[in-house]
Amino acid sequence: MKDFSGKLAVITGGSTGIGRALAKQLASEGCSVAMCDISQADMDESCAYAMDGAPQGVRVTGFLADVAMEAELEAFRDDTLARHDTDHIHLLFNNAGIGGGGSFVNTPRDVWERTFAVCWYGVYYGARAFLPALKRADEGHMINVSSVNGFWASLGPDTSHTSYSAAKFAVKGFTEALVNDFRLNAPHLKASVVMPGHIGTNIALNTMREFGELSEDDIPDSLSEDGADQQTRGEAFRDNGLDPAEAANIILQGVRDERWRILVGTDAEALDQAVREAPEAAYEREFMETRVAPILPAIVPQA
């Protein structure tokens, strides 16, 4: 799929960060967009931002939905097909995610399972809901957003990171399995797994909005000064990563190139190489402090 003009893209988690940047870039290329999110205000802003300067004929719609609830994603699908007057879509970006649920030992079960539900079941339910519409297109592409935490289950030696990592590993494995499944059973479809490094998004701030105050197992040290409160640390995480627009550029080029594995950011590429070179050492303090901290300083501070 080299040209997105005249296509219809579905984006979960479209109101901020990578989702908003994808909507903007796709709309600017003549692709209509249907997005969902849990914040109506953020989504309205994102729709207006995407439509600003878009070519004539492009439509951008929003729908309030919690991706952890299958019925709400099914309602989002029905709304998308009705409002765009179609029976098919061309692009599905299962992008929504939150943090939290750091410790399997100490984090309350409802918090742990909420994070896992958004980050894994949001992808699974999105894929289930929209696959029939994707199959009805002459060509289609499902893009599932995992993370570097889909191949490295850590935020450093002093922070637990179990729920998010488990979910992102599941997203990665599911998408890799789809590559051959589509080849065998729906050869006009492609699948890609996206693994971003540190992107300057509101994920930490949105996680705090979801859960309120988080434990130290749920938010790592950031680029802010020692002793900073969680709001300041979340803002520092947002303000110091790769620009979401650049992340969207990388993802969309990966789709054009039909790459099933899309690493986003030089930090993601370097971390992938480091883990592959020393997988048995990947969770040792020395590895994290000498190999990971120079790559992801916002997550693993220098020793």
State the catalytic residues. 164
In angstroms, the CA 195 to CA 97 distance is 13
Q: What is the DSSP string of 220-259?
A: ---SSPTT--HHHHHHHHHHHSB-HHHHHHHHHHHHHTT-
Given a contact cutoff of 8 angstroms between Cβ atoms, the answer to whether 208 and 238 are in contact is no
Closest among 217, 207, 177 to 193, alpha carbons compared: 177
In angstroms, the CA 113 to CA 135 distance is 31
Tell me the backbone φ, ψ of residue 62, rounded to 5 degrees.
-125, 150
Contacts for 19 with CB less than 8 Å, ≥ 6 apart: 11, 12, 13, 35, 37, 46, 93, 95, 96
In angstroms, the CA 57 to CA 7 distance is 11
C-alpha 277 chain-centroid distance? 26
Given a contact cutoff of 8 angstroms between Cβ atoms, the answer to whether 57 and 30 are in contact is yes
CB burial of residue 159 (10 Å; 0-12, 13-18, 19+) = middle
